[in-house]
Amino acid sequence: MQVQRQESGEKGSFYIKENGQKSALMTYKKSGENEITIDHTEVDEAMQGKGLGKQMVSAAVEYARENDIKIVPVCPFVKEIIDETPEYQDVLS
C-alpha cells in the first residue's frame, strides 16, 4: 500500500487507499511559509495495527525534508511517533 498526498490551498492530507477507499488518512494545514501542522490521523478499524499510521508519518517526514519545511505535530499519534524516532527530529519545528 502506497501513501499518497493531496493538497488544496492551505490544507492537505496523506492517505492510503485500499480497494478504491481511503483506509488511512492524516491531515495537515500550512502554518507558515515553511511549516505544516499535522492535526489528525485516522485508520479504518479493519486496518488498524498494520503500521499504516507510521507509513503516513514517514511519508510526511520525507515530504518535509524534500521541500525544506518543518512539522508541528499537534496530533498525539504523530507527536509520539516523531518523539520516539531520533532520525525524525530534524523536521520538528
- Is residue 67 over pLDDT 90? yes
Instruction: Name every residue whose Cβ is closer than 8 Å to that of residue 87 and which is 6 or more positions away in sequence.
Output: none
Q: In this predicted structure, what is the pLDDT of residue 20?
A: 87
Contact assessment for residue 56 and residue 74, using Cβ atoms and an 8 Å cutoff? no
Q: How far apart are CA 43 and CA 25, in angstroms?
A: 6
Q: How far apart are CA 61 and CA 50, in angstroms?
A: 19
Contact assessment for residue 25 and residue 13, using Cβ atoms and an 8 Å cutoff? yes
DSSP-based three-state secondary structure for 85? coil
| CATH code for the domain in which residue 74 is found | 3.40.630.30
Average the pLDDT over 19-41 and give the result. Answer: 95
Q: Which domain holds residue 77?
A: 3-91
Confidence band (pLDDT; 50, 70, 90) for 92?
Answer: very high
Confidence band (pLDDT; 50, 70, 90) for 74?
Answer: very high
By DSSP bridging, strand 35-43 and strand 70-73 are: parallel
Q: How many domains is the chain partitioned into structurally? A: 1
Q: In this predicted structure, what is the pLDDT of residue 19?
A: 86
- Is residue 50 over pLDDT 90? yes
Q: In this predicted structure, what is the pLDDT of residue 1?
A: 79
